[in-house]
Structure 1
Amino acid sequence: MRYTVIFIPMLLMPLVLNDFWLTQVLTRSLILGIVALSLSFLATYLGVVSFAQAGIAGAGGYTIAYFGPNTVAIGVELPFWVSIPLALICATVFGGMIGLVARRSRGIYAIMITLAVGVAFFYFTRQNYTLFNGWTGFSGVRAPMIGGTSLREPAPFYVLSLTAAIASMVLVSGFVRSPMGLSIQAVRAAPGRVMALGIPVTTPIMAAFAFSGFLAGTGGILNVWYQERISSFSVGLGPIIDILIIAVIGGLRHPGGAFVGAIVFVLLDTFAVDLVDRERFNTLIGTVLLLIVILAPNGLLQLALDGAAKLRRHNHNQQNMSNQ
């Protein structure tokens, strides 16, 4: 029900917004939010902050570029209904493999391992020309036509991104209530007790990373269609940090905060040039991030939830006083 309340008004956005706001702001925010959601999921339910999510998204993006239409004459073009599952499988398997590598790590050690994997993937894509076309990457990667509707148009692509975002939130909500989701949360809370019960912790950890890989891969596919290209720059240190910033701004412990952080980040990225010199954008982002960490350490979403709760308590107290 709560997702319907969000979905319906956002579905009407193409009727009230021009193509700039629809594409450059909302659609981009939804795509980045899906990738950031994969990080927030791990942080919330497994207690691990992963720096490999941009790389996992890139794995899905590279797969859709390699097996889809492009202008670099590399790859094998397949129908979209084949290439999309292949891309999601690739991202899911990549995520699971990272979980296998990082299964014994927590805290700063998990951060360093996932960061090492992300950076290694960045250099691999830059140096490999057979699969990734090295520095240049892929261009001309465009969204397909489905039922006579071109997903390259702003409104259809926005609806596709919105549907993917809502579906991702629904999947997270359902997955965390499943037996495997509960096992993942148990591993986060008390891994020693889980092992004492005879349950191997490797499987839940790999499942969590694989599921996050599926989410990141979904965002990666959409991002390639949005940018119509992908290169090593798409999986470099910049995107890695951007995803973390988005998750922290919205609230690292709240999956829904990924989309709140994404819209704030995109607005700053889009209109910062009107406020400061473009070269000082990172300074602006750093300042905003610092203020949020100080004033709202749990993110903007938690700040909004706390404010709403205080308002409800205030209204309730006022009502009680008037009844007396």
Structure 2
Amino acid sequence: MRRLVSPVVLANMAVVALLFLLPLLVSSFWIGNIFGRSLAYGIVALSLTFLATYGGFVSLAQTMVAGVAGYVLAIYAPTAIPLGNYPLPWGVGIILALVAATFAGLLVGLIAVKTNDIYLLMITLALAVGFGLFAQSNTEIFNGYEGIRNIVGPELFGSSIRSPKTFYYIALTVALILYFLVVYLRKSPFGLVLQGLRDTARRVSALGYHATAHRVAAFGVAGFIAGCGGVLVTFYNMGITASSIGMGATVNVLIMCVIGGLVHPAGAFIGALLFSLLDTFAPSIYDRDRFNTLIGFVFLAVVLLSPNGVLGVMKLIRDRLDFRRHNN
């Protein structure tokens, strides 16, 4: 008799059910400061994982794209300090932020799509650093180093988005939608062409597919994903500053992706969760002032022991268990 539901689908359903029940099992501190934060930053990391895994582009501009969304949201927020010249309702501001992030992703794609490997890495890094420095020096629009504060967000069903449970469920819903979008795109004609261009670009181009258009479109999709993360991160931090999208933040997102594993979209969220745990409990583990040293050691250990991150370790353990089971 054939199974009606595959084990993978059952496992996904179990994980989703557990995630929705999580606020009933742990405290508000864990929901807001660990899991809610991990989901928001994990979405930004997901945009990088999507490009790296299926397009072969390790783009360091994703934090910049998320920052574009965050700044657009903050500029038009009705509660912003300092208040912008044209405050808009929250819904309109969010839509404009996502449109701006998607456009920024397409622009990054147009600039970087003709390059590969280290050259693409350096171009996207230059764009990220350049935007951060521009935001820091611009006081008229971005309020310079201080940034824009008091982005409290709208109320949903009578509850503020700043409520840990409300923010967690919003972030979880957005994360699941984007995660399954990436999983769907992986098997769609667009995703298959993108992976073909990653592996054998000349052969796929010979079949009549427009390589540049597909690659730029991939950056646009990644821009939309990063924009969703940027909006959530801005709500989480109640504002945005130039330092939150600078070099440090850019490297942090890359570390999340590598620690979790660039082989699957889930790695972005696993890496973000581990990063949040280390960042939160660093004082008791090592020393708050030595957090960069601690995360550096973790990063090196993961790269040396498992180039595919935590997901690689999990796959290795599963393969060994399957081997033992079949040989017993």
Residue of structure 2 in register with 1:56 after alignment: 65
Whole-Å Cα distance in 1 between the matches of residues 144 and 84 of structure 2?
A: 11
Unaligned 5+ segments in structure 2 are: 1-8
1:148 to 130, 151, 158: 158
Matches within 5 A, 1:43-192: 43-68=52-77, 69-192=79-202
Q: Amino acid of the residue matched to residue 107 of structure 1?
A: D
2:30 to 21, 27, 50: 21
* TM-score, with structure 1 as normaliser: 0.95
Runs of 4+ in 1 over 3 A off after TM superposition: none
Q: Amino acid of the residue matched to residue 225 of structure 2?
A: L
- Measured at CA, do residues 75 and 31 of structure 1 come closer, stay the same or move farther in structure 2, by a change above 3 Å? farther
Whole-Å Cα distance in 2 between the matches of residues 73 and 143 of structure 1?
A: 14
Does the 8 Å contact 1:250/1:262 carry over to 2? yes
1:217-269 CA-to-partner distances (Å, cap 9, x unmatched) read 11100000000010101110000000000000011232211111111111111
SS at match of 2:327: helix
Residue of structure 2 in register with 1:321 after alignment: none
Residue of structure 2 in register with 1:279 after alignment: 289
Whole-Å Cα distance in 2 between the matches of residues 134 and 272 of structure 1?
A: 30
1:79-120 CA-to-partner distances (Å, cap 9, x unmatched) read 222111111111111001100001111000000010011011
User: How far off is 1:75 after superposition?
Assistant: 4.3
Does the 8 Å contact 1:3/1:166 carry over to 2? no
Task: Work out whether 1:42 is the aligned partner of 2:51.
Answer: yes
Does the 8 Å contact 1:134/1:232 carry over to 2? yes
Residue of structure 2 in register with 1:298 after alignment: 308
Residue of structure 2 in register with 1:242 after alignment: 252
Q: Amino acid of the residue matched to residue 74 of structure 1?
A: G
SS at match of 1:214: helix
Does the 8 Å contact 1:49/1:111 carry over to 2? yes
Report which stretch shifted further, 90-99 or 176-185.
176-185
Does the 8 Å contact 1:75/1:131 carry over to 2? no
- Measured at CA, do residues 251 and 75 of structure 1 come closer, stay the same or move farther in structure 2, by a change above 3 Å? farther
* TM-score, with structure 2 as normaliser: 0.94
- Identity %, equivalent residues: 43
Residue of structure 1 in register with 2:15 after alignment: 6
Matches within 5 A, 1:247-266: 247-266=257-276
Whole-Å Cα distance in 1 between the matches of residues 301 and 183 of structure 2?
A: 30
- Measured at CA, do residues 92 and 3 of structure 1 come closer, stay the same or move farther in structure 2, by a change above 3 Å? farther
RMSD: 1.3
- Measured at CA, do residues 173 and 75 of structure 1 come closer, stay the same or move farther in structure 2, by a change above 3 Å? farther
SS at match of 1:176: helix
SS at match of 1:12: helix
SS at match of 2:59: coil
Whole-Å Cα distance in 2 between the matches of residues 274 and 155 of structure 1?
A: 26
Aligned length: 318
Does the 8 Å contact 1:250/1:261 carry over to 2? yes
User: How far off is 1:178 after superposition?
Assistant: 2.3
